[in-house]
């Protein structure tokens, strides 16, 4: 799952608050809401075991990690003083372990682990089986756990975190003028979905400045070819709070998705004249809800939040919704004293409020890398424009480097 995919999944409801002790109920301060019928998003941020070095056999389920530190995510791999420290002190490979049990209602569904940010490269293991390596410290990523899950007992998630400056991974390869720190510094989730599910949603408003505006909703579907000949429908609703203000549906058509390549189907909502635009003073936000239906029964459901707006650079300057505005902004790094980048969502959101309300900015530049969804969500809510950058500093690497960036 790339950054766009994961950020667009932030509208998913949470579930799992009633799990037994020793299971996902202990995973963090995130209190889960009522479960959706089709999917669950389970936080696993508490009760991690941490070692500042990789240990032989440390990925095995039976490994004794009682000597490891118990840590909470977000976590920095090394606590640092306020200033005057050696930046090499956080450049090492560490090991994180997290046992978990799944709730009974997850049985028979597909299980993914979603990492929002790990610095810098992550090798993920489930129950002693290596799933692969993800390169990149600023973008979310996922691995499917389903084939290796123990449905009736305990499971063990292990992550080798390489926080060294590797020239094959952005922003490294030359010099950077900022510190990168290390660790699993953003939240981790287990995502439970049906065998065929809505992998992603992308809402694209069109003609927003006239009464003929429409909303194209691109739905990405993932599932086995054996289920693809079933008669299914995509139902799409545009929500203003709890009120449905637009809807449309389409039969699911086209070829079955290839593994790792979701099938795309677009549904267009029309007659959306009475829409309030997102702007700096009135950052109006809507939700789009997509349901996958088979024979009148819900297969899967997901939502996204977005706004209607038109942004363009013209000869007269930057234009928002047809009006030229003067941009006043600052750069923002996601680093903090003592803990590096490992700050929870409430602090990330607070930075957006400081920029907008205290410093009177109307735009922020995410220097020099993609930043926390909590920060970006807050910007959406308070009318703060965002200029988001790829990881880097005066250097562009080879094709593989660019693909990661």
- Which token pair is 40? 């669950």
Q: Quick check: 236 and 304 in contact, CB under 8 A?
A: no
- Which token pair is 128? 């002693």
Task: Identify the CA nearest to 397 among candidates 127, 116, 166.
Answer: 166
Which stretch of 116-120, 176-180, 237-241, 280-284 has the lowest confidence by average pLDDT?
Answer: 176-180
Q: Quick check: 157 and 98 in contact, CB under 8 A?
A: yes
User: pTM for this one?
Assistant: 0.90
Confidence of residue 37 (pLDDT cuts 50, 70, 90): low
Which stretch of 8-22, 262-276, 364-378 has the lowest confidence by average pLDDT?
Answer: 8-22
Task: Please check the confidence at residue 62 and state whether its pLDDT lies above 60.
Answer: yes
Instruction: Kindly report, residue by residue over 306-349, the tens digit of the pLDDT.
Output: 999 999 999 999 999 999 999 999 999 999 999 999 999 999 99
Task: Please check the confidence at residue 102 and state whether its pLDDT lies above 80.
Answer: yes
- Which token pair is 22? 């020793």
* For range 15-27, the mean pLDDT: 35
Instruction: Kindly report, residue by residue over 114-129, the tens digit of the pLDDT.
Output: 999 999 999 999 999 9
| Angle 114-349-139 from CA coordinates, rounded to 5° | 30
For the chain, first and last CA: distance in Å? 14
Q: Quick check: 365 and 334 in contact, CB under 8 A?
A: no
Distances (CA, A) of 173 to 90, 165, 169, 246: 18, 8, 8, 49
CA separation for the pair 304, 240 (Å, rounded): 12
Burial category of 104 from C-beta neighbours within 10 Å (exposed 0-12, middle 13-18, buried 19 and up): exposed
Of 82 and 62, the one with more pLDDT = 62
Instruction: Kindly report, residue by residue over 205-222, the tens digit of the pLDDT.
Output: 999 999 899 999 999 999
Strand-pairing partners, residue 96, are 50, 159
Q: What is the pLDDT of residue 132?
A: 98
Task: Identify the CA nearest to 111 among candidates 85, 131, 135.
Answer: 131
Confidence of residue 84 (pLDDT cuts 50, 70, 90): confident
CA separation for the pair 267, 290 (Å, rounded): 10
Task: Please check the confidence at residue 274 and state whether its pLDDT lies above 80.
Answer: yes
Q: Is CATH 2.60.40.10 the right assignment for the domain spanning 197-306?
A: yes
Domain limits, CATH 2.60.120.260, in the chain: 3-193
We find that the CATH architecture of domain 3-193 is: Sandwich (2.60)
Q: Quick check: 290 and 217 in contact, CB under 8 A?
A: yes
Q: What is the pLDDT of residue 63?
A: 98
Strands 118-119, 197-206: pairing is unpaired
CA separation for the pair 243, 277 (Å, rounded): 17
Sheet holding 232-240, edge to edge: 243-251, 232-240, 286-294, 297-306
CA separation for the pair 266, 372 (Å, rounded): 28
Rg of the Cα trace of the chain? 22
Domain limits, CATH 2.60.40.10, in the chain: 197-306
């Amino acid at each position: 799952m790339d950054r766009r995919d994961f950020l667009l999944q932030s509208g998913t409801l949470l579930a799992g608050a009633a799990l037994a002790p020793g299971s996902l109920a202990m995973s963090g301060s995130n209190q889960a809401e009522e479960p959706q019928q089709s999917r669950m998003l389970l936080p696993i941020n508490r009760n991690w075991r941490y070692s500042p070095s990789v240990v032989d056999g440390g990925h095995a389920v039976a490994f004794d990690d009682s000597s490891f530190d118990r840590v909470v995510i977000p976590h920095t791999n090394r606590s640092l003083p306020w200033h005057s420290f050696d930046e090499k002190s956080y450049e090492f490979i560490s090991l994180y372990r997290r046992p978990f049990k799944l709730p009974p209602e997850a049985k028979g569904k597909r299980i993914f682990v979603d990492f929002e940010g790990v610095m810098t490269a992550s090798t993920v293991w489930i129950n002693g089986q290596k799933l692969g390596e993800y390169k990149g410290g600023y973008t979310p990523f996922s691995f499917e756990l389903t084939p290796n899950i123990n449905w009736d007992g305990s499971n063990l998630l292990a992550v080798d975190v390489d926080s060294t400056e590797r020239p094959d991974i952005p922003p490294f390869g030359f010099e950077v003028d900022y510190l990168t720190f290390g660790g699993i510094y953003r939240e981790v989730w287990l995502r439970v979905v049906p065998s065929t599910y809505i992998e992603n949603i992308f809402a694209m408003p069109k003609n927003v400045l006239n009464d003929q505006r429409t909303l194209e909703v691109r739905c990405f579907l993932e599932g086995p070819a054996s289920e693809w000949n079933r008669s299914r429908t995509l139902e799409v609703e545009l929500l203003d709070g709890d009120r449905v203000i637009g809807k449309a549906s389409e039969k699911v058509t086209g070829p079955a998705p290839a593994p790792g390549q979701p099938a795309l189907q677009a549904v267009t909502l029309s007659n959306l004249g009475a829409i309030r635009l997102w702007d700096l003073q009135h950052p109006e936000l809507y939700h789009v809800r997509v349901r996958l239906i088979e024979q009148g029964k819900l297969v899967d459901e997901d939502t996204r939040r977005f706004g209607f707006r038109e942004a363009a650079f013209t000869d007269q300057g930057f234009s928002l919704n047809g009006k030229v505005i003067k941009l006043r902004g600052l750069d923002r790094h996601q680093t903090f004293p003592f803990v590096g980048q490992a700050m929870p969502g409430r602090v990330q959101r607070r930075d957006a409020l400081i920029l907008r309300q205290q410093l009177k900015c109307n735009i922020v530049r995410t220097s020099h890398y993609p930043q926390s969804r909590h920060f970006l969500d807050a910007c959406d809510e308070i009318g703060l424009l965002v200029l988001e950058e790829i990881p880097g500093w005066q250097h562009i690497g080879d094709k593989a480097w660019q693909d990661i960036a």
